[in-house]
């Protein structure tokens, strides 16, 4: 199948899963229920997760996927970013939505990221210069009275690679590179009431394979084989590995991390603990939004 057909199929699935996430992100729902139900929806629809579903709440901007024993529950007033991706044969559709749990305190903040995304998408056409996208995102978020997060960016997507060149920043980075037909890019404005920067927080339990070299431990080798066969170079999480190999696998993941075979992502809180909203679409340049 043509890569475009795979990408468009991934987009249809992730769109439906995103709408489902909006329905189930309710007061008293556990973070882990939201993540696992959305992941199940993706596989029921015939897709594969391109990365673990993230449920990042309030001042946490990104990369928070529930742990296997996560007890956290959504409460009234929470501002929830659900970030999800689907791939078909490695072609990835990446999207996100922000919802507020039972209140209407952050309508403007949510709207700022959404409006910025809608305006940015119009510029995601062949021959646009990349800085134009960041510029419009920055202007839209700033004119709404918020701050864009500067050190989180949209990105290119390639087969089995979630983050490639070019970086699509949320501010004018003066990059005069032109977009070309058939490039796949994700645009993801983040708006905050804080400083506009994320820092590295706690370990997320999300990993990716960085160096497929041999490990001496037989058990660790089995995990490595499973990871490369099932996720290739895409991110995975310890929740998924524990489901397959049991609790002992936590130590083996640690060992693989120490050997620099896999690398762990950090949770990304906003530096001033500002509230954060996010919106995201994947675009096939010359075709349009696929999510
Ligand atoms: Mn995303
Ligand atoms: Mn993304």
Does residue 158 register a pLDDT over 80? Answer: yes
- Say if strands 79-88 and 54-57 run parallel, antiparallel, or are unpaired: antiparallel
Q: What whole-number distance in Å separates Cα of residue 102 and Cα of residue 33? A: 18
pLDDT band, very low/low/confident/very high, at 216 (cuts 50, 70, 90): confident
CB-CB neighbours of 123 under 10 Å: 18
Mean pLDDT of all residues in 241-255: 96
By percentage, how much of the chain surpasses pLDDT 90? 98
pLDDT of 182 above 90: yes
pLDDT in tens, 46-60: 999 999 999 999 999
Q: How far is the CA of 154 from the centre of ligand 2 (A)?
A: 6
DSSP state of 272: T
Which pLDDT value is given to residue 232?
95
- Residue 188: nearest ligand to its CA? 2
d(CA 36, CA 20): 12
Phi and psi at residue 234, to the nearest 5°:
-85, 155
Place of tokens 């742990």: 67
**Could you list the active site residues?**
83, 94, 155, 163, 188, 280
Q: How far is CA 27 from the centre of its chain?
A: 22
Q: Model confidence at 144, in pLDDT bands (50, 70, 90)?
A: very high
Cα of 217 to ligand 1 centre, how many Å? 34
- The set of residues, in sequence order, having a beta carbon less than 8 Å from that of 71 and lying 6+ positions away, is 30
Ligand nearest to the CA of 81: 1
CA–CA separation, 280 vs 13, rounded Å?
15
Q: What residue ranges in the chain does DSSP mark as E strands?
A: 48-49, 54-57, 60-62, 79-88, 91-100, 147-148, 154-158, 161-168, 184-187, 190-192, 203-209, 236-237, 262-266, 268-269, 276-278, 281-284, 288-289
Query: Residue 1 pLDDT more than 80?
Result: no
Based on the number of CB atoms within 10 Å of its own CB, is 225 exposed (0-12), middle (13-18) or buried (19 or more)?
A: exposed
Report the distance separating Cα 241 and Cα 168, nearest Å.
Answer: 32
Residue 222: pLDDT band by 50, 70, 90 thresholds? Answer: very high
DSSP assignment of 233-247, as one string?
Answer: TS-EEHHHHHHHH-T
Local confidence band at 215 (pLDDT 50, 70, 90 cut-offs):
confident
Distance 214 CA to ligand 1 centre (A): 31
State how far the Cα of 30 lies from the Cα of 73, in Å rounded to an integer.
4
Query: Could you give the domains of the chain?
Result: 3-200+270-289 (3.90.230.10), 204-266 (1.10.10.10)
Q: How many whole angstroms separate alpha carbon 152 and alpha carbon 274? A: 15
Using 50, 70 and 90 to split pLDDT, how confident is the model at 212?
Answer: confident
pLDDT digits (tens, 9 = 90+) for 146-155: 999 999 999 9
**65 C-alpha vs ligand 2 centroid, how far in Å?**
15
Average pLDDT, the chain: 97
């Amino acid at each position: 199948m043509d890569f475009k057909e795979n990408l468009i199929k991934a987009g249809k699935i992730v769109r439906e899963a995103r709408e489902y996430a909006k329905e189930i992100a309710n007061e008293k729902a556990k973070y882990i229920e939201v993540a696992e139900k959305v992941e199940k929806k993706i596989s029921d629809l015939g897709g594969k997760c391109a990365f673990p579903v993230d449920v990042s709440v309030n001042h946490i901007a990104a990369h928070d996927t529930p742990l296997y024993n996560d007890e956290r529950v959504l409460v009234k007033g929470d501002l929830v970013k659900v970030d999800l991706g689907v791939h078909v044969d490695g072609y990835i559709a990446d999207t996100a939505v922000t919802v507020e749990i039972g209140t209407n305190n952050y309508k403007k903040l949510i709207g700022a990221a959404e409006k910025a995304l809608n305006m940015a998408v119009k510029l995601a056409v062949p021959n646009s210069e990349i800085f134009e996208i960041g510029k419009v995102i920055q202007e839209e978020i700033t004119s709404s009275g918020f701050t864009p997060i500067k050190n989180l960016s949209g990105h290119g997507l390639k087969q089995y690679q979630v983050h490639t060149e070019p970086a699509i920043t949320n501010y004018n980075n003066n990059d005069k590179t032109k977009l070309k037909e058939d490039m796949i890019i994700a645009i993801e404005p983040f708006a905050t009431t804080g400083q506009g920067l994320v820092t590295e927080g706690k370990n997320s339990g999300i990993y990716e394979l960085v160096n497929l070299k041999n490990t001496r431990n037989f058990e660790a080798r089995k995990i490595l084989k499973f990871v490369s066969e099932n996720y290739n170079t895409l991110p995975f999480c310890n929740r998924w590995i524990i489901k397959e190999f049991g609790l002992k696998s936590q130590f083996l993941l640690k060992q693989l991390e120490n050997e620099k075979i896999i690398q762990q992502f950090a949770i990304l809180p906003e530096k001033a603990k500002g509230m954060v909203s996010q919106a995201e679409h994947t675009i096939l340049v010359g075709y349009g939004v696929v999510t």
